[in-house]
């Protein structure tokens, strides 16, 4: 598998790509901006990306694990790039906790520094998350780059964990920073990337539906756009 390099946490449900340098004015965070990403004028903004439903299908003769691996690297790079466009607005002051709206908060946990779930700011959380994913991609026992080396028996479980955690970055961007995305003119890139991500997730059953709850309305809308493809 050819790996392209760009540069564990606990889920808590609380009750009650552009290479051009861009800057944006930070809009107000009033209630009128809540779920702006669901407004028709934004939700239907995608790039001319062809039939994404067909694009996620396992190609004939392709090894499933290889297909999962290649796409994992691709989505990781996409999300890295998308998050990179809003990093100056996602600060410990503005985002003191990693969340996806008022009901969903994510605590970081891993096998080294954070052995117990820790409440950290969104940028710290994303940094740990991206570093963790990169470490998985760099691990030859998980993502072998040499021909003839098999993927480990638990590979699908690892892929599920990676996708579950990457989804949280999309969820944070949509629920917290979508006005910034719009002001940067990146909504089509974000929507296309997320639609592709969700179609791939659904195709290979990578994320439990309860984990997708923060963006369930958007997912329903995006999938409806592709059902006749």
Q: Is 204 helix (H, G, I), strand (E, B) or coil?
A: helix
**CB neighbours (10 Å) of residue 108?**
24
Q: Which two tokens mark 74? A: 């691709």
Burial class (CB in 10 A: 0-12, 13-18, 19+), 83: buried
Phi, psi (deg, nearest 5) at residue 12: -125, 115
**CB neighbours (10 Å) of residue 145?**
12
Is the Cβ–Cβ distance between 145 and 54 less than 8 Å? no
Torsion of Cα atoms, 190 then 128 then 166 then 99, to 10°: -80
Q: Is 189 annotated as ligand-binding? A: no
Phi, psi (deg, nearest 5) at residue 72: -60, -45
Q: Is 172 annotated as ligand-binding? A: yes
Q: Which two tokens mark 10? A: 């606990």
2: left (phi over 0), alpha (psi -120 to 50) or beta: beta
Binding residue numbers for Zn(2+): 90, 95, 172, 177
Binding residue numbers: 90, 95, 172, 177
């Amino acid at each position: 598998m050819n790996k392209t390099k760009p540069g564990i946490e606990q889920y808590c449900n609380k009750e009650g790509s552009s290479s051009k340098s861009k800057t944006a004015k930070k809009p107000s965070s009033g209630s009128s901006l809540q779920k702006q990403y669901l407004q028709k004028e934004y939700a239907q903004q995608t790039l001319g990306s062809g039939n994404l439903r067909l694009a996620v299908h396992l190609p004939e003769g392709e090894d499933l694990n290889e297909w999962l691996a290649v796409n994992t690297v691709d989505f990781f790079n996409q999300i890295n790039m998308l998050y990179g466009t809003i990093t100056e607005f996602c600060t410990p002051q503005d985002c003191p906790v990693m969340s996806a709206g008022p009901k969903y908060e994510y605590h970081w946990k891993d096998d080294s520094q954070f052995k117990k779930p820790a409440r950290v700011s969104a940028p710290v959380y994303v940094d740990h998350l991206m570093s963790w994913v990169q470490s998985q991609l760099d691990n030859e026992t998980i993502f072998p780059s040499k021909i003839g080396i098999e993927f480990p028996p638990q590979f699908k479980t690892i892929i599920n964990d990676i996708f579950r955690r990457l989804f949280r970055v999309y969820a944070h961007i949509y629920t917290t920073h979508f006005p910034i995305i719009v002001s940067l003119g990146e909504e089509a890139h974000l929507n296309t990337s997320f639609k592709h991500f969700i179609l791939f997730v659904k195709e290979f059953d990578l994320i439990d539906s309860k984990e997708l709850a923060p963006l369930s309305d958007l997912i329903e809308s995006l999938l409806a756009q592709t059902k006749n493809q």
